[in-house]
Amino acid sequence: MGKPSRIFVLTGSGISAESGISTYRGGADGEEGLWSEVDFQKYASPEGFSEDPEGVHHFYNVRRKQVREVQPNSAHYALAQLQSKLRESGGDLTLVTQNVDDLHERAGAEVLHMHGEILKGICDMCPRPAFEVQGDLHISDGCDACGRIGTLRPDVVWFGEMPYHMEAIDVALSKADLFVSIGTSGAVYPAAGFVQEAKMRGIKTMELNLEPSDNAYAFDTADYGKAGEVVPRWAAQWGVSL
């Protein structure tokens, strides 16, 4: 059997860790994740936002500034190069990320952000499409489209909300011949369930992570280490060289 040519890749915060972005639940080296420092129910739920909107805006303003200051790492570049190589040869790589940073696209990849994008904002009260946030968001801001004050929020999918692109994800998964999960703990659904869906469809599954994830048992193969090392090593079999 030849090498897989229709690959579905799911990434999580571990792929951006070496770029300097905190993970949510930490890693094997004892580093604390974001959710052990702050309460995710306050900063990642619609209820938390309605209780303290300016506090939640501040949390995302700080993180948005940090995203603007960091750079993609070799794992982001390897995936972007592999995506374009596969597409040139008639295959495909669908890249789905849970990350709200823009490091995949800055590395040159096309990506579906299932948990939204921190650099964008939406209005809770009007159908205006997501817009680029210039600087920060505040409760005193008005919506350029509907004129209401205090209705803007980060375009980030919070707990209890429906992730984006679920239909496109289902279609891409049904066409894949390999499912690869990179830098995610497997703690948050529906993304954590993609490996089981892949298995049910007879698709091979692989995990590339710092350590075995919560659903490591479900993967056919795995390579454990830092994404900046294991992802380029894996992509090299298609001729990717950084």
115 binds ligand APR (CB under 6 A): yes
Candidates 57, 76, 104, 115; catalytic one: 115
Q: Which residues of 136-163 are buried (b: 16+ CB within 10 A; e: fewer)?
A: ebebebebeeeeeeebbbbbbbbeeeeb
Using CB under 6 A, pick the residue from 105, 211, 220, 223 that binds ligand APR: 211
List the one residue from 130, 188, 216, 222 that touches ligand APR (CB under 6 A).
188
Task: Please give the residues from 67 up to 106 whose contact with ligand APR meets the rule CB under 6 A.
Answer: 98
Q: How far is CA 95 from its chain centroid?
A: 9
Alpha helices (H) along the chain: 34-37, 40-43, 46-51, 53-69, 74-88, 103-106, 166-175, 194-200, 227-235
Q: Is 209 in the site for ligand APR (CB under 6 A)?
A: yes
Least Cα distance to 122 among 154, 98, 146, 158 occurs for 154
Q: With binding defined as CB under 6 A, does residue 13 bind ligand APR?
A: yes
- Of residues 166-185, those binding ligand APR (CB under 6 A): 183-185
Query: Does residue 226 belong to the site contacting ligand APR (CB under 6 A)?
Result: yes
115 is an active site residue = yes
- The CA-based dihedral angle spanning residues 111, 221, 174, 101, taken in that order and rounded to the nearest 10 degrees: -20
Residue of the chain from 7, 10, 21, 23 that contacts ligand APR (CB under 6 A): 23
What residues line the site for ligand APR (CB under 6 A)? 12-14, 17-18, 23-25, 27-28, 33, 40, 44, 98, 115, 183-185, 187-188, 209-211, 213, 226-227
